[in-house]
Amino acid sequence: MRIGIIFGGPSREREISFAGGRTVYDNLDKALFEAVPVFVDSLGNFILLDWQYIYKGTIRDFYPPVEALPETEHGLQIYLESLGELSIEEQDRIIAKAGKRLQPNEFRQHFDFAFLALHGPYGEDGSIQGLLEWYHMPYSGSGILPSAIGIDKAAQKEMLRQHGFPTPDYRTVSFNEWQEQTGRQQLFDSLVADLGLPLVLKAPHQGSSIGVSIVKEHDFATFEAGMDRSFFTKTIYKAQWLALGEEKQLASIKQLVDIREGIGMPVLLENGTIIYHPEELFNHINHTFNSSATDTIKLINVEHEQQVLVEAFIQGKEFSCIVVQDENGNALALPPTEIVKGSEVFDYRSKYLPGLSRKITPINLPAEDIQRIRQATSKLFKAFAFNVYARLDGFITESGEIFLNDPNTTSGMLPSSFFFHQAAEIGLNPSQFLTYIIRTSVAERLKSGKDTVKLARLLDKLDNAIRDEQAHRHDKTRVGVIMGGYSSERHISVESGRNIYEKLSSSVKYEPLPIFLTGSNEEHRLYTIPVNIMLKDNADDIKEKILHFEHGGKPHPVLAQIMQEAESITRKYTGHALQEPQRITYAQLQNLVDAVFIALHGRPGEDGAMQLELEKLHIPYNGSGIRSSQITINKYETNEILARHGVSVAKHAMALKEDWQQDKEAFFQSIERAFAYPFIAKPADDGCSSAVKKIKNRAELEAFTTLIFREMEELDPACARTLSLGFKEEFPNKAGFLVEELISKNGAKHFLEVTGGLLTRYAPDGTVSYEVFEASEALAEGEVLSLEEKFLAGEGQNITPARYATDPVQRQKISDKVKEDLRRVAQILNIEGYARIDAFVRVFENNEVETIIIEVNSLPGMTPATCIFHQTAINGYKPYEFINRILQFGIERNRMKVME
Residue 555, phi-psi category: left (phi > 0), alpha (psi -120 to 50), beta (remainder): beta
**What's the pLDDT band for 135 if we cut at 50, 70, 90?**
very high
Amino acid at 873: A
Residue 786 scores a pLDDT above 60: no
Instruction: List, edge to edge, every strand of the sheet that includes 307-312.
Output: 170-174, 307-312, 199-202, 213-215
Mean pLDDT of 767-789: 74
Beta carbons within 8 Å of 655's beta carbon, 6+ residues apart: 667, 671, 681, 705, 736, 737, 738, 739
Q: CA–CA separation, 735 vs 411, rounded Å?
A: 45
Pair 314, 403: CB distance under 8 Å: yes
pLDDT number for residue 75: 80
pLDDT number for residue 418: 83
pLDDT number for residue 208: 62
pLDDT number for residue 413: 87
The SS3 call for residue 114 is strand
Q: pTM of the entire structure? A: 0.89
Positions of E strands within 267-336: 267-268, 274-275, 296-301, 307-312, 317-325, 331-333
Residue 781 scores a pLDDT above 60: no
Q: How many CA atoms lie within 13 A of 829 on its CB side?
A: 37
Mean pLDDT of 163-181: 91
Contacts 24+ apart (CB under 8 A), 638-645: 638/829, 638/855, 638/856, 639/853, 641/828, 641/829, 642/825, 642/828, 642/829, 642/853, 645/824, 645/828
Pair 812, 820: CB distance under 8 Å: no
Beta carbons within 8 Å of 532's beta carbon, 6+ residues apart: 424, 425, 427, 578
**What separation in angstroms does the CA of 407 have from each of 2, 21, 208, 371, 865?**
30, 21, 12, 18, 28
**What's the pLDDT band for 602 if we cut at 50, 70, 90?**
confident
Give tens-digit pLDDT for 87-129. 999 999 999 999 999 999 999 999 999 999 999 888 888 999 9
Residue 37 scores a pLDDT above 90: yes
pLDDT number for residue 688: 54
Of 581, 558, 557, 579, nearest to 570 by C-alpha is 579
Pair 756, 775: CB distance under 8 Å: yes
**What separation in angstroms does the CA of 418 have from each of 12, 414, 525?**
20, 9, 29
Q: 20-34, 432-446, 461-475, 758-772: which has the minimum mean pLDDT?
A: 461-475
pLDDT number for residue 577: 76
Mean pLDDT of 304-308: 94
Q: CA–CA separation, 434 vs 27, rounded Å?
A: 8
Q: CA–CA separation, 385 vs 390, rounded Å?
A: 10
**What's the pLDDT band for 342 if we cut at 50, 70, 90?**
low
Residue 673 scores a pLDDT above 90: yes
